[in-house]
Amino acid sequence: MSDSGHVRHAPGTTVWHRGKPVDDRGDTVCVVGAGASGLLAIKNLVEHGFAVDCYERETGVGGAWNWRHDRSPVTVGTHLVTSREVTQIPDFPMPDSWPDYPDHRQMLSYLERYADHFGLRRHVWFGTEVVRVEPADDDRWDVTIRSTGGGAERTHRYAGVVVATGHLWSPLTPSYEGQDRFAGEVVHASTVKDPTMLRDRRVLVIGGGNTGCDLAVEASRRAAACWHSTRRGYWYLPKYLLGRPVHQVAALAEALRLPGRLQQWLGHRLLRWSVGDLSRFGLPAPDHKLFQTLPVVNHELLHAIGHGRLTPVPDVARFHPDSVELVDGGSIEPDLVIFATGYLPRFEFLAPDLVGTEDGRPHLLLHAFSRRSPTLAVVGLLEPDAGLLPLVHWQTVAVARWWRRRQRDPGAAAAAWDRVKDAPDRRLTRTRTKDTSRHWFAVSQPVYLTALERTLRQLEVTR
């Protein structure tokens, strides 16, 4: 994938770099991670004629959806919050017999069958973690790996690298005054795998996103008492609207090409009719318009509050040894506090400047392409308003087509890259969203796909 005069070695040739042996893998590309995004990357790269080596630190595929993995964010009772029809991979539909909102076990089964159907496991080195990814000559990459059980490091040289490690494995955990003296148990949501840990406890869930709401509902069924603390008001979407999964209704609005503001106006009125005034339930009213934050998709939260099993409370002010003080001056006495406060993206094996990291926030072209190198891509780094997998499918198709273009016509590809690599960030949502870490990667599905197609066309222009 080069237009320079550097010598290319046959795959398997050993070269030396900085005094260390490097196994040159020729035109083979590297995929880091065999979760959903990694599997999609392998499949689409192979279909475009690339040899692929994928490294996965765990012993199986599935990534975030494989609840057996230590880094999986899957908690008890996790289901899709986007319906099956808008989440399934375009060329590998989910079974028609499945429910509208499959659970995490079905999602893992789906990804395992995807891997088997397309023969992807043979490209994956399981139990192998990536230690470093470093630029080498000629837009190539030295990838240093080792067994997750320890042992010697090995370095391989690749023509390109796709990072598919996801952004839901490094917990974002707040720190409150007095927390270190609190006598109760404090955990992050990612550790709540077994529902028995909630039984007969006095549980406080902190965090108003989808995970926080799901855990609050789960705890309300099992705990002796349960509180749910949020900093602000949110929009809560029911999973069904007008008798259909809510994202199908949203897809109809997109198909009709309704402007963003009109969709917002219609959404407000539909929620007023179907959900009503949230303040009646003790929840704070949203301080923003619909779609300016990622809405929470949960139809059970209000049910749990209305039946007295769950008590909404404001933000936490500080911890005391035997209680938690709230910002309104109130006090509660939980013995288990769960932080459902999200995650931060981390790329431990990459130098920060390669993904444009600034204050922990990556700055990539279309949240996918490194602006520093045309042969480094990150896939799955999105928070869409519909299903993630269709977007990652087309992301990985775009990466494969672009890299194939570089092989066919390296000179024209280099000129095209120079034209697009410094393009300013565009808003990829229908409406302006709040500038919080939860919305760093927020995209509207049709807006993102249009932008991805436009950029790919620019990269494929001859002059």
Per-residue pLDDT tens over the stretch 163-214: 999 888 889 899 999 999 999 999 999 899 888 999 999 999 999 999 999 9
Domain boundary among 293, 310, 339: 339
> Are residues 75 and 23 part of one domain?
yes
Q: CA 387 to CA 203: how far, in whole Å?
A: 31
- Please determine, for residue 1, whether its predicted confidence score (pLDDT) is greater than 60: no
Flag whether 262 is in a domain: no
Token duo for residue 39: 């599997």
pLDDT at 435 over 90: no
Does residue 462 surpass a pLDDT of 70?
no
**Residues 401, 293 share a domain:** no
Domain range spanning residue 407? 13-170+343-460
pLDDT band at 3 (very low <50, low <70, confident <90, very high): very low
Position 193 scores a pLDDT of 86
CA-CA distance, 395 to 393, in Å (whole number)? 5
pLDDT of residue 371 exceeding 80, the answer is yes
Q: What is the pLDDT of residues 133-142, one digit of tens each?
A: 999 988 999 9
Q: Are residues 55 and 202 in the same domain?
A: no
User: Residue 2's pLDDT is what?
Assistant: 42
Q: What rounded mean pLDDT belongs to the chain?
A: 89
Residue 268 lies in a domain: no
Q: What is the CATH number of the domain that holds 222?
A: 3.50.50.60
Same domain membership, residue 224 and residue 95: no
257 domain-assigned: no
Same domain? For 36 and 61 the reply is yes
- The answer on 362 and 330 residing in a single domain is no
Give a yes or no: residue 250 inside a domain: no
Residues 347 and 335 in one domain: no
CA proximity to 337, closest of 215, 437, 221, 214: 215
Confidence at 291, pLDDT banded by 50, 70, 90 = confident
| pLDDT level of residue 11 (50, 70, 90 thresholds) | low
- For the chain, what's the residue count? 463
- Residues 363 and 426 reside in one and the same domain: yes
Which residue would you say has higher pLDDT here, 461 or 149? 149
Percent of the chain with pLDDT over 90: 60
Considering the domain architecture, whether residues 155 and 187 belong to the same structural domain is answered as: no
Count of domains forming the chain: 2
Collapsed DSSP state (helix, strand, coil) of residue 425: coil
Query: Looking at the predicted structure, is the pLDDT value of residue 332 above 90?
Result: yes
In this structure, is residue 260 part of a structural domain?
no
389: confidence class by pLDDT, cuts 50, 70, 90: very high
Confidence category of residue 6, pLDDT binned at 50, 70, 90: very low
Question: What is the widest separation between alpha-carbon atoms in the chain?
Answer: 72
Give the span between the Cα atoms of 155 and 163, in whole angstroms. 17
Minimal CA–CA distance to 53: which of 131, 135, 149, 120?
A: 120
Q: Which of 339, 360, 390 is the last residue of a domain?
A: 339
**Is the per-residue pLDDT at 446 higher than 60?**
yes
- DSSP, collapsed to helix, strand or coil, labels residue 186 as strand
Residue 301 lies in a domain: yes
Q: With b meaning 16 or more CB within 10 Å and e meaning fewer, what string describes 404-432? A: bbbeeeeebbeebbeebeeeeeeebbbee
Q: How far apart are the first and last CA of the chain?
A: 18
Locate all alpha helices (DSSP H) within 322-387, ordered by sequence.
none
Alpha helix ranges (H) inside 32-103:
36-47, 84-87
- Phi, psi (deg, nearest 5) at residue 165: -90, -5
Do residues 85 and 195 share a domain? no
Tokens representing 264?
């917002």
Backbone angles phi, psi at 385, to 5 degrees: -85, 0
Residue 216 and residue 308 share a domain: yes
The residue among 240, 217, 236 whose CA lies nearest residue 286 is: 236
Last residue of a domain, one of 339, 370, 392: 339
Average pLDDT rounded to a whole number, residues 423-429: 83
Structural domain contains residue 256: no
Q: Are the CB atoms for 447 and 463 separated by under 8 Å?
A: no
pLDDT of residue 10: 59
Question: What's the pLDDT band for 357 if we cut at 50, 70, 90?
Answer: confident
Coil, strand or helix: which one is 171?
Answer: strand
Looking at the fold, whether 155 and 185 belong to one and the same domain comes out as: no
Q: Is 70 a member of any domain?
A: yes
